[in-house]
Each structure stands twice: as structure tokens, then as C-alpha cells.
Amino acid sequence: MQLPREVCLLLVKRFGVWHTLTSLLFKPSYKCFIMKNFIFVIFLACIIAHTLTAEESLRHTLVMGDESRGFIHYLDQFNTNNNFSVKANRPVWDMKRISDNRYRYVHGNSFTVVDLKERKEVETFSDTKLTGLTSVCDLPDGGFLAATNQKAVVPTNAAPVVVAVEAMKKKSEVSEKKCVVVYQYTAARQLKARSVYEGLNNVRMMTVLPSGEILLAHNDGVARCTLASEGSEQGKIVQSYKLPRAKNAYKAILRKEGGLWVGGGYACALYAYADAGHVIKTFEAQQPAGLKNHFFGGLVEQANGNLMVANWTGHGANDSKTGWQVIEFDAEGKVVWYLHDPVAYGSISGIDIIR
């Protein structure tokens, strides 16, 4: 481990203080020489313990979704012998824990469940209706919601209706608009309903709230929505949380102090929103020269108030060399830990903290 330059300078200064004090306390002799060096070792250990940066002292056990290389990684910084990876289908979106050892992730028009204890895939669900699938969330009744980016046919003076592209081409009297469509499935994996959100584009992650409403992170920010009522396909946007800059909000979660935390995507920041919808905090990371923030993705708020976020660095297998892959902020927005190991890991899009 290489000590930071500031630590080395501090040690040199404090060595002078140590040398002066011990010269006054001990007379020149072999025994005194041994005693002075023993004291110096203790003195040095204490200084290092107090001057090492938090990034070097914190350790974590994480599960990470690797979008660019197609893996789910288990990282144990307390015992690296426990580290392993399970092959996954790219793009490994919306990785989340669904039970103690099982993680689900999205790819294509499908989702797959991986058992980390068995280190293999144990379930896959696919439906041709789910073109543009980006996120899946469980429901209390055992069913699930699936968020997609699709197109809606909008007849004159009518609500949008999702239909096949072939059908669109035959209807010259209708227009075609991009929209977000959320499909609802039963516990038996049967399609039950769908909700269309016209005006939203490029949905990333979805979050189901205790109220039954959903958060959709999309191109311009986050939308809090209700599902379509029975007999209708039109979902309702209840409140909008606009990104201050850039685009592609990735994920929104409830903030422990109230409001939301949002991974700002290409804005390369974490935003805290008040319940009223305005930004009250912004967390950004200053990386060393040659490294950069690229896209802030999946995030987790810890019990101590710290926030951890994936800094996705690109689709290329070696893009992870360009920036920290995971960043941890304390409750005040200071970077206290980061992961940068481009040899072992690619571009990380999602994280789960085990320890």
C-alpha cells in the first residue's frame, strides 16, 4: 500500500519531534537505541492509523452488476478468497436482491435469476411483449411490474394504445409516439394489465413505493406515477422531479430523511429532492487526473446515511479503466471510499451492499 504524499510529509515532520524528545529522554547506549526504535515503531503505527484516508481504511462486501463484461460479481474486501463472479447476459440491468442468495437482472425482453450460493442461473422469464424492457419490480401479491420503452399509437382525440409496429404501418390516421409502458403480471406469470405514460421517454429503473405508486427514472428526471385504473391503459403522472442538468436519470429511491435520492445519469451527480420536487442537495466526486465520472447509476443509502453509487464508465469491456467504478459518499457529500479495479471488473451499473 502506498501512503499519500501528505501522509509522508506529516511523518517526516513528526519524526523530527520524536527524535528531539527521545534524545532528551535516553542516554546514548545500545539498550537505549533498541528502546528508541521500539518506541518509534509504536509511534509510526499510531500516526498511520490516524492519517490514512477513509478510502484506504473502509472495506465492504458487495454484489455488483457488470454491464460491459456480462457478470454478477461478489466482492469481499474482508476476505478476498471469497471473491467470485457468475456469468450473466448483457446488459445486466436492474440487478437487485430478491432473496438471501438470489439476484434478478434484466436483459433483452427477459429477466434472469441467479443463485449466488449455487453460482448459477435458476430462473428465466421472457415475453415478446416486453420489447425495450429495462426494469422489473416485485409486487406484494407475488406478481411483478415490468417497465419498457415502446411506442404508442395515438388516434385523434383518443388515449394512447400500445400496438404492434406492423399494425401501426397500416393506420395512416394515427400518429406514433415514444412512451413508457409498464406491464403488470400475476404471480402465475400471466399478463394482467398495462399502463401507458405518454410524454415520458427512455425509462431506466423503476421503484415501487409502499403506497402502490411507482417512480420512473427517465430521460429528463423522475416521475411519480399511479398505474392505470381497471378498464383503462392510461397511467397518471402525479409529480415530476426534473434533473438540474444533462439527461438520463437512472434510479430513484426513497430518502431516509424524506424525499428522494436520484442517480443523475450523465449529470454525474447524486441529487436529494424534497417532497415538493426541488433539489436540496447535490453530491459530486472529484476524481484524480486521468479519471472521470461518466454516468451515475444504481445507488444505495446505508443506515449511517452514507450513499454508494455505481459510476458506469461505458459499454466497452475495458472502459472501466477511465474512472472509479463505485463511489461512496458520507452524509455530507464527501467521498469516503471508492472501488477502481479495471483488471477484475468492467463497467458497473448496479450494486448491493452485503456488509
- The pLDDT score that the predictor gives to residue 43 is 56
271 C-beta neighbours (distance < 10 Å), count: 27
Whether residue 28 is found in the same domain as residue 62:
no
Q: Quote the CA–CA distance of 25 and 27 in Å, as a whole number.
A: 7
Backbone φ, ψ for residue 92 (5° rounding) = 55, 55
Q: At what angle do helices 5-25 and 30-51 cross, to 10 degrees?
A: 150
Whether residue 275 is found in the same domain as residue 328:
yes
Whether residue 332 is found in the same domain as residue 193:
yes
CA atoms within 13 A on the CB side of 237: 17
- The pLDDT score that the predictor gives to residue 9 is 42
Whether residue 38 is found in the same domain as residue 59:
no
Residue 4 carries which side chain, given as an amino acid letter? P
Whether residue 30 is found in the same domain as residue 143:
no
Whether residue 11 is found in the same domain as residue 96:
no
Whether residue 234 is found in the same domain as residue 281:
yes
Instruction: Kindly report, residue by residue over 170-213, the tens digit of the pLDDT.
Output: 555 566 789 999 999 999 999 999 999 999 999 999 999 999 99
- The predicted model scores a pTM of 0.81
- The pLDDT score that the predictor gives to residue 330 is 98
- Where a domain ends, among 15, 31, 51? 51
Q: How many domains does the chain have?
A: 2
Q: How far is CA 22 from the centre of its chain?
A: 51
Whether residue 81 is found in the same domain as residue 115:
yes
Per the listing, cell 458487495 goes with 62
Whether residue 152 is found in the same domain as residue 32:
no
Whether residue 23 is found in the same domain as residue 124:
no
Q: List the CATH number of the domain containing 67.
A: 2.130.10.10
Residues in the chain: 355
- The pLDDT score that the predictor gives to residue 3 is 42
Instruction: Kindly report, residue by residue over 281-313, the tens digit of the pLDDT.
Output: 999 999 999 999 999 999 999 999 999 999 999
Q: Quote the CA–CA distance of 31 and 96 in Å, as a whole number.
A: 61
Residue 305 carries which side chain, given as an amino acid letter? G
Q: Quote the CA–CA distance of 231 and 234 in Å, as a whole number.
A: 9
Whether residue 148 is found in the same domain as residue 223:
yes
DSSP state letters, 295-337: EEEEEEE-TTS-EEEEEE--SSTTGGGGS-SEEEE-TTS-EEE
Q: Quote the CA–CA distance of 107 and 69 in Å, as a whole number.
A: 13
Whether residue 30 is found in the same domain as residue 85:
no
- The pLDDT score that the predictor gives to residue 155 is 53
Give the structural domain span for 12. 5-51
